[in-house]
Amino acid sequence: KELHSVEEAFEFKLTDCVSWINVNGLNHVDSIEKIGTHYNLHPLVIEDLVSISQRPKIDEYEDYLFVVLKMLHLDAEEKLNYEQVSFILGSNYVLSFQESEGDVFGSVRERIRQGKGRVRTMQSDYLLYILMDAIVDEYFSVIETLGDKIEDLETDIFEGSIEESATKDIQELKKEVLKVRRSIFPLREVINRIEKHESALIQQRTKTYYRDIYDHLIQVTENIDIYREMLWSLMDMYMTTISNKMNEVMKVLTIMASIFIPLTFIAGIYGMNFDYIPELHYKYSYFILWGVMIALFIAMLFYFKRKKWL
């Protein structure tokens, strides 16, 4: 259920069962500070909660864990959104703070409401696991979309349908991949520290689940690194394609010029006005000249054919 004031949420703290309080929108600084005071959070944690340019990290405090990570999701226009999500994991509560409304926790809410699965019988650390797992699962579809864009670009370049925007597209994708990488990469260390964390907050049997997230993250980051490498070599491909095109243009120019320049020279010779040019007065010399020119023409075509320029 949705609550209307922050204070309503506080009564959950005392109950035995695990509570999940989700805060949408980080500009209600007042409410966030109230929650912070209630749950006895360190001032630096509250500061970090409302500053949205954090990188994924974990801070271990005595009776709670503070985890920051990036939620990536594609909006309707396939544009990538980066949203910061912070979690406070206490012994019987999970607080989550998001920048804005939309999130990827729909299926989690559904499972909790229906009371299905292991969700309702397990502790707060398992709740944090399924929330993080939902975020990491979303990563897969995000990088898949990136991969599709890269392969489209690759096909375009291969097929020679090069537009000048290609360099721009490659550069944009490079920056996107770098940004995604930076949002996801440090999370590996975060999960690793959760797995190694030694306190009652994280139970031994839940660690297997965090290990599973870790494996997923390795898979995601490996794919990102492969996309990066592909993008770098795509630039090379593009350069090669330009060189190939230029080469083709050069060949046409060379063939045209090489064939007609000598022919034009010959025509020039017999356009000269010398009083005494014996060839000019023979009856068939015009036709003979045509013969010579056509022979030359064919010889040159033949030569370029052999050079594989045609």
- When asked if residue 294 is in the footprint of its own copies (CB under 8 A), the reply is no
Q: How many residues bind its own copies (CB under 8 A)?
A: 80
By three-state DSSP, how is residue 178 classified?
Answer: helix
By three-state DSSP, how is residue 92 classified?
Answer: coil
> 281 — phi, psi (to 5°)?
-100, -10
Nearer to its own copies, 20 or 214 (CB): 214
Contact 98, 68 (CB under 8 A): no
Minimum distance of its own copies from residue 17's CB (angstroms): 23
- When asked if residue 40 is in the footprint of its own copies (CB under 8 A), the reply is no
Binding segment for its own copies (CB under 8 A), chosen from 9-17, 19-27, 77-85, 231-239, is: 231-239
- When asked if residue 260 is in the footprint of its own copies (CB under 8 A), the reply is yes
**What percent of the chain is helix, strand and coil (3-state, nearest 5)?**
65, 10, 25
Rg (CA), the chain: 35
Position among 226, 295, 298, 299 found at the interface with its own copies (CB under 8 A): 226
- Residue positions counted in the chain: 310
- When asked if residue 273 is in the footprint of its own copies (CB under 8 A), the reply is yes
Position among 17, 246, 292, 301 found at the interface with its own copies (CB under 8 A): 246
Nearer to its own copies, 198 or 275 (CB): 275
User: Under rule CB under 8 A, which residues in 66-85 are in contact with its own copies?
Assistant: none
Cβ neighbours of residue 30 closer than 8 Å, sequence gap 6 or more: none
Beta pairing class for 19-24 and 93-98: parallel
Position among 280, 294, 295, 310 found at the interface with its own copies (CB under 8 A): 280
